[in-house]
Amino acid sequence: MPSDIFIGIDLGTTGARVIAIDEDAVVVGEAKSALSDHGSNHRDPMCWWAAIQTALSTVTKNIDAGRVQALCVDGTSGTILPIDAAGRPLADARMYNDACEDSAILATISKHAVAESAAHGATSGAAKALTFQNSNPEMAMVVHQADWIAGQLSGLYGSDDNNALKTGYDSVQRCWPEWMAQAGINRTLLPFVREPGTVLGHVLPDIAAEFGLLTRTKVVAGTTDGCAAFLATGALKPGDGMTSIGTTLVLKVISDRPIFDPESGIYSHRLLGNWLAGGASNTGGGVLLEHFTPSEIEHLSTQINPETPLGLDYYPLRAPGERFPISDPQLPPKLSPRPDDPADFLKAMLEGVAGTEALGYAKLRELGGPRLTSVRTVGGAAQNEPLTAIRARLLGVPINPPVHLEAAYGSALLAKSGMAGQ
Give the Cα separation of 243 and 245 in Å (integer): 6
- Please say if the pLDDT value at position 307 is more than 70: yes
Q: Give yes or no: residues 267 and 347 share one domain.
A: yes
Residues 207 and 350 grouped into a single domain:
no
Contact of 71 with 218, CB cutoff 8 Å: yes
Q: Coil, strand, or helix at residue 270?
A: strand
The pLDDT value recorded for residue 419 is 83
Is 17 in a helix, a strand, or coil?
Answer: strand
Give yes or no: residues 90 and 206 share one domain. yes
111 found inside a domain:
yes
Residue 84 has pLDDT above 70, yes or no: yes
What are 186-214's pLDDT values in tens digits? 999 999 999 999 999 999 999 999 999 99
Residue 370: predicted pLDDT: 97
What is d(CA 203, CA 245) in angstroms, rounded to the nearest whole number? 38
**In this structure, is residue 19 part of a structural domain?**
yes
pLDDT band at 233 (very low <50, low <70, confident <90, very high): very high
Residues 199, 247 within the same domain: no
Tell me whether residue 185 is in a domain: yes
Q: Give, for 144, the enclosing helix (H) or strand (E).
A: strand 141-144
* Helical H segments across 318-406, by residue range: 342-366, 385-395
Contact 184, 110 (CB under 8 A): no
Residue 222 lies in a domain: yes
Q: Which of 37, 5, 31 is nearest to 18 (CA)?
A: 31
Question: Is residue 126 pLDDT above 70, yes or no?
Answer: yes
For residues 249 and 287, state if they share a domain.
yes
pLDDT value, residue 381: 82
Residues 79 and 216 in one domain: yes
Residue 375 structural domain: 237-400
pLDDT for the residue 300: 98
- C-alpha 151: how far from its chain's center? 20
Same domain, 12 and 137: yes
Whole-angstrom distance, CA of residue 196 vs CA of residue 163: 9
- Please report the pLDDT score of residue 324 as a whole number: 95
* 113 and 255 together in one domain: no
The predicted pLDDT at position 229 comes to 94
Cα-based angle 15, 37, 61 (whole degrees, multiple of 5): 75
| CATH code assigned at 324 | 3.30.420.40
| Cβ(78)–Cβ(125) below 8 Å | yes
Closest CA to 154 of 269, 35, 70: 70
Identify the pLDDT of residue 380: 84
Q: How many domains does the chain have?
A: 2
Query: Looking at residue 83, what is its pLDDT?
Result: 98
With a cut of 80, say whether residue 422 has pLDDT above it: no
Mean local confidence (pLDDT), 238-266:
94
pTM, entire model: 0.93
Q: Is residue 96 part of a domain?
A: yes
Same domain as 257, residue 211: no
- Amino acid 86 reads A
Give dist(CA 278, CA 109) in Å, integer. Answer: 23
Q: Residue 361 falls within a domain, yes or no?
A: yes
Rounded mean pLDDT of the chain? 96
* Confidence (pLDDT) at 37: 97
Q: Say if residue 164 is in the same domain as residue 264.
A: no
**Residues contacting residue 224 through CB under 8 Å, at least 6 positions apart:** 74, 75, 76, 77, 146, 162, 163, 269
